[in-house]
A and B are shown apart, each in its own frame.
Chain A
Amino acid sequence: MDSSEVEFLAEKETVKIIPNFSLDRIYLIGGDLGPFNPGLPVDVPVWLALNLKQRQKCRIVPPAWMDVEKLEEMRELERKEDTFTPVPSPYYMELTKLLLNYASDNIPKADEIRTLVKDIWDTRIAKLRLSADSFISQLEAHAKLDNLTLMEINTIRAFLLDSLNCMYKLRSNLQPGSSKGQFTDY
């Protein structure tokens, strides 16, 4: 799974838009959308919101958590806690990126939000690396991490799995023994 796929999944999240056109309910496989009344907020998936936005057919109302004060609080909490704190949305990073890239004019203090989310992301990734490090250094068999988002898991997956494999090879070569030898055959 690469990050574009995760982003694709994130596009299914709903977001409020204020359309500037009038359209009756539309019926899609994923469910009904609309009706669209000019000036009246309506929930649509992100992909549609961005599409409409790019065609200048709507304004996007940022999700409630996309707010400087709330994100600051979250950042502080994230920095204070050793474990992962619950995130505002399972796709917070992707949504921030998408919305800020395409609809930054509809989001107050877009730059600050971008920085804050990046901060939160960095803090979490740092924690993730740290826990991966201690996981490996303590030769644990399993570990439990709560409140991770898909994107975060996806970020670390390739590296962690490869390095674990690699280390496994190294270790099994290092220690002579018949049983180990068998394992390397796999």
Chain B
Amino acid sequence: MPCERKPMRYGHSEGHTEVCFDDSGKFIVTCGNDGDVRIWEGLDDDDPKFITVGEKAYSLALKNGKLVTASSNNTVQIHTFPDGDPDGILTRFTTNATHVVFNSSGSRVAAGSSDFMVKVVEVSDSSQQKTLRGHEAPVLSVTFDPKDDFLASASCDGSVVVWNIEEQSQLISWPVLQKTNDISNAKSLCRLAWQPGTAKFLAVPVETKVHLYERGSWDHVSTLSDDLQTQLINVVAWSPCGQFLAAGSVGGSLTVWDVNSKLCVERQKHEKGFTVCSLAWHPSGSQIVYTDTEGCLGLLDGLSTPTPNTNTTKAPATKAAKDYDDLFDDDDDDRLMDEGLSETNSPVKKPVAGDDDDDDDFLMPATGRVRNRGAILDDENSLDTGSLKLGQDKFGDDDDTGSAVVPAAVPLVPMRPVYEGPMPTAPQKAFQPGSTPAHLTHRFMMWNSVGIVRGYNDEQDNAIDVEFHDTAVHHAMHLTNSLGHTMADLSQEAVLLACPSTDELASKLQCLHFSSWDTNKEWMVDLPEGEDVRALCLGQGWAAVATSALMLRLFSIGGVQREIFSLPGNVVCMVGHGEQLLIVYHRAPGFDGEQALGVQLLQFGRKKRQLINGEALPLSLQSHLSWLGFTAEGTPCYVDSVGVVRMLNRSLGNTWTPVCNTRETCKSKSDHYWVVGIHENPQQLRCIPCKGSRYPPTLPRPAVAILPFKLPLCQTSTEKGQMEEQFWRSVLFHNHFSFLSSSGYEIDEDGQSQSQKEQQELLMKMFALSCKLEREFRCVELAELMTQNVVTLAIRYASRSRRMALAQRLSEIALEKANQIREDEPEEEEEEPAYSGVRRTSGYSQSEVMEERRGNTRDQEEEEEQGEELREEEEDGQEMETEEAAETTKRVNPFAKEAVSSVTPSLTPIGKVGRANPFKVLGSGKPSSSSGQPRVTNILDNMTSSRKLSPLSRSAGKPGKDPVLKPLAPRPKTKTQSTLLQMNATKAASKKTQENTQPAADQQKQPEVPPPASPADNTENNRPKTGFQFWLEENRKSITADQPDLEETDIIKEAMGRFRTLSAEERLLWTERAKGQTGDAADLKKRKRAGGGVENDNGQVEADENSSKKKKSLDPSSKLSAFAFNKT
């Protein structure tokens, strides 16, 4: 008989406890040393109902809705069950009663007491008492004969006595127990048990064995023992079918015997070895619940009592026939088809039924009140078949000893409802998010980000306390709750309270509008008759109330009635925030433990509209809603009973994303977190840890804890998973920026840029990681998510790590992004079209230049470029290495706000590599990509914040002769100012004149300049110009004179040709001159950018010329000064 031992849970404070099931088996009822009777809806119920019966409760018995308890004030009292109303005192003793039991019909109660007496009292008339005297020591336990003739009792005097109740006389006495002087000294409680049904055997625990005495002859007929049972047996209990006997011992072992075979069929051990002081069978026989002397409650589940084996062997044909007869007798209106199945089905069905019950218990919402499916089933059945309960019926069917005793052997099958499909779930009741259940005497009526509303409802006081987290909002308030308000909401402006209607009074809505500037701080509204407030909430300047008439009523905060509309279903709860109202209601009946909830999100304010229109609210499997609210930033979110927090993702078509599972952080299974608020920036889930319960107590005052969010992405233990999780969490938690700005609120720009930065940083990290893992495709996918300037970084990274194909693809993406940005922002400035047009053509012209040059000097150039790259690597060797070793740390820098200086050096290579590589790889170069490159860099310059682009370029545009250059201007300028030497400024100034001579050429040329200037270059800004440049300055005039119609590029080309024709000496001369000029060559300023085109040739020709590094550095510096000029 396999069974599962469920983990023990806390039931009562330390001391003797007792336990039983109620008649239906739905509730476990316990009593304990703390004087409470607790009613558990299954072992996992964290919020049991309790009835306080006295200072201590020694014993309890439950039957027919009557709860009899023996309490410390020496009385035996009755309470109604499950309501717990006191129903009088049954009897009194001179000292406390030790054990109380009902007889099988529930008409009489027997109680044994420490004053040596046993009393038998009629439940209906407590004056009808029979007193059984004869024990010489406190009575340990009592038990009724199921046929009501006899009563057995055990006492500390060592005797077990059978009494004749009518004659009040001892029938027989067995001196089998150890003598003690008091219950507290007794080794064993010696709970007797009489076999139910046939009443054939009386089970008496005697030390480590159980003696069975036969009724009538009172002979000791057999002994149940187990070799492994070495401890004293404390309690015994018969299974409802009478076939099995369970025993619990002082050492915590639990044993079940099959009485017919006298074999031990189940052994279990208490997990801590505490004394089992009470045990009870589920009416279906599938579970045993037990308690120990430490106040803990445990459960054995899945006891498939009547095993098919015993059933087949023991059920003779005649018995089957008899069953059939019964079947016809009792249920002639039922389907005959099923009868044949009855015998075969029952053993199978029973465990199933048992499991079902258990499942239901487990899934029962702890808010209670909701009757579970099993119970509903039970009710239907009992209606069908008179007063019989399902559990009993089942046993009637299988009871092999069962002759006449079993109430009525109604077969199982006809009782089963025909419908076998999914069963509807009881819809969850309406609640206020942030409140604890209304049945508590001290409860939180509301705990939100503004404050706390507490309700007290005990004998002395019925009051409401309002307290504000921030005392600056309002001072704390204490209100008497004369109307019996059960619902509350609290905002910065008002407190809203509502009570349900009573017989005389209508349901009322009361608003304490404490922020009102007039003297009337309060208003009240009566709802129409028959309409009850179900849920309420406060927004900014309005209040909303959902009523039982499926109506939603809006009020202004001052009490003016506003819109009213109908709800599609019964409201579950409702919250408001600013101008948003979120309503959750029952869309349809749920099935199999699910709730079918719908959600509506409305926005008031100037433009009233419905954002979410009755879509289904996704909940975890078999859970219900437990909290609903807005984040402080105004994003709807909710928590279900499984602890999953979900948040609205406005950027993905209003879908709900799970952002946290609070249960993951719980230490124990019965711990919960009670959510009170959610913040998106900083990311905080504010909640109250509740140890062993779902709700916090009002005292001691609970402290708020903060949980982090975590998206349930796969493999978050890996670096990749972690970063992905972080990235998407960041994206999700910054959706509110766009929402807020779109609805016209001011937003925290700092926070927004911070978050964007963070996201891009994460993308870059992921990019680097994928690069390291050789996942180039993935790299490209990641690049798609990046903003454009980060793509350029990625390009740089890719080309550095020699992934040219990747860099190529990335540059395409960068181009696409740039186009997209341009398309997205056409209205940003009127100049834009022209600007981009010029840009494009300029890119074109550049590529032409390059191509031509290439034509001339391809070989050298390639050498050069390779050398260049090598040099770059040398230059940045330090940086590179660290970068590749630990991208994570290094990559942070480019984004770090304060690290401007570190940003710029890393930018240098972008320009170079970004420019050089596409050409190198592509050979002649696609126009698109080559024209793309300058763009990339342009945008890189401007895109640190795309917002800033427009005002800057606009302001730059005002002086306005040269719009082409504007976007480029701001950044180089600052750099010039910060890093260039004074000399460069003078250069720039002098260049002005130069520029003016060739404005037309320049306008075309400038866009070509883009590769961003950089401090790395800046350090070499005062490098000399090349000899060629000097020569060009000198000879430009003559060239233009010779061929006036030449383009600027052609001029240079021509110049190069001519320069080359010069003799080596002449060239050397120019070079020398160039060297000599470095310091003071103000008058010799040339158009330095031309040098960029020429330098390669120079490098070739002038062997003694300074290293090409120096030359190379030249052009950026010249470019810089060009910008500086344009700026001034």
Contacts and interface: CB of A to CB of B under 8 A. Distances in A.
Nearest to B476: A20
Interface in A91-137: 108
Interface string B680-712: 000000100000000000011101111000000
Given A18-B704, A59-B701, A61-B703, A40 B470 contact: no
Contact of A40 (B468, B700, B701, B704): B704
Contact of A18 (B451, B472, B700, B703): B703
B1121 interface: no
A40 B707 CA distance: 12
B706 A40 contact: yes
A41 B704 contact: yes
B449 interface: yes
Interface string B416-459: 00000000000000000000000000000000010100000000
B349 interface: no
B521 interface: no
Chain B contact residues, majority secondary structure: loop
A57 B701 CA distance: 17
Interface of A: 16, 18, 20-22, 38-41, 56-57, 59, 61, 108
Contacts of A20: 468-471
Contact of A39 (B472, B700, B704): B704
B468 A41 contact: no
A61 B703 CA distance: 8
A59 B471 CA distance: 12
A59 B701 CA distance: 10
17 contacts: A16-B703, A18-B703, A18-B704, A20-B468, A20-B469, A20-B470, A21-B470, A21-B471, A21-B472, A22-B472, A38-B469, A39-B451, A39-B470, A40-B686, A40-B704, A40-B706, A56-B471
Contacts of B451: 39
A1 B701 CA distance: 39
Contacts of A56: 471
Interface size class of B (residues with CB under 8 A): 10 to 19
Interface string B698-737: 0111011110000000000000000000000000000000
Interface of B: 449, 451, 468-472, 686, 699-701, 703-706
Contacts of B470: 20-22, 38-39
B449 A39 contact: yes
Residue among A18, A22, A39, A108 having the largest count of chain B Cβ atoms under 10 Å: A39
A39 B701 contact: no
Contacts of B704: 18, 39-41
Contacts of A18: 703-704
A21 B472 CA distance: 7
Contacts of B449: 39
A61 B704 CA distance: 11
A38 B468 CA distance: 8
Nearest to A58: B471
B977 to A, nearest CB: 31
A108 B471 CA distance: 23
Given A18-B704, A20-B468, A40-B686, 19 more contacts: A16-B703, A20-B469, A20-B471, A21-B470, A21-B471, A38-B468, A38-B469, A38-B470, A38-B471, A39-B451, A39-B704, A40-B469, A40-B706, A41-B703, A41-B704, A41-B705, A56-B471, A57-B471, A108-B700
Nearest to A57: B471
B141 to A, nearest CB: 34
Contacts of A39: 449, 451, 469-470, 704
B694 to A, nearest CB: 21
A107 to B, nearest CB: 9
Contacts of A16: 703
B583 to A, nearest CB: 26
Contacts of B686: 40
Nearest to A40: B704
A61 B470 CA distance: 17
A105 to B, nearest CB: 10
B318 to A, nearest CB: 65
Nearest to A56: B471
A24 to B, nearest CB: 13
A61 B469 CA distance: 15
Contacts of A41: 703-705
Contacts of B468: 20, 38
B417 to A, nearest CB: 51
Nearest to A107: B700
B452 to A, nearest CB: 8
A18 B700 CA distance: 14
B299 to A, nearest CB: 28
Contacts of B700: 108
Nearest to B451: A39
A20 B704 CA distance: 13
A39 B470 CA distance: 7
Nearest to B472: A21
Contacts of A22: 470, 472
A73 to B, nearest CB: 16
A170 B399 CA distance: 96
Contacts of B706: 40
Nearest to A59: B701
Residue among B470, B472, B701 having the largest count of chain A Cβ atoms under 10 Å: B470
A56 B1008 CA distance: 67
Contacts of B701: 59
Nearest to B699: A108
B448 to A, nearest CB: 9
A56 B468 CA distance: 13
A50 B438 CA distance: 36
Contacts of A61: 703
A14 B471 CA distance: 24
Residue among A21, A22, A40, A56 having the largest count of chain B Cβ atoms under 10 Å: A40
A18 B703 CA distance: 8
Contacts of A38: 468-471
A54 B704 CA distance: 22
Contacts of A40: 469, 686, 704, 706
> What 6 A-B pairs are tightest by C-beta distance, nearest first?
A39-B469, A38-B469, A38-B470, A20-B471, A108-B700, A61-B703
A23 to B, nearest CB: 10
Nearest to A106: B701
A41 B469 CA distance: 11
B438 to A, nearest CB: 23
Contacts of A21: 470-472
A21 B706 CA distance: 18
A179 to B, nearest CB: 66
A120 to B, nearest CB: 22
Nearest to A36: B470
A16 B451 CA distance: 19
B447 to A, nearest CB: 9
A5 B853 CA distance: 82
A180 B678 CA distance: 77
A57 B468 CA distance: 12
A17 B477 CA distance: 22
A16 B706 CA distance: 13
B251 to A, nearest CB: 27
A76 B705 CA distance: 32
A38 B700 CA distance: 19
B295 to A, nearest CB: 16
B444 to A, nearest CB: 13
B179 to A, nearest CB: 36
B632 to A, nearest CB: 10
A39 B686 CA distance: 10
A49 to B, nearest CB: 14
B851 to A, nearest CB: 58
A41 B451 CA distance: 14
A148 B547 CA distance: 65
A57 to B, nearest CB: 8
Nearest to B676: A39
B593 to A, nearest CB: 35
B349 to A, nearest CB: 49
A110 to B, nearest CB: 12
B473 to A, nearest CB: 8
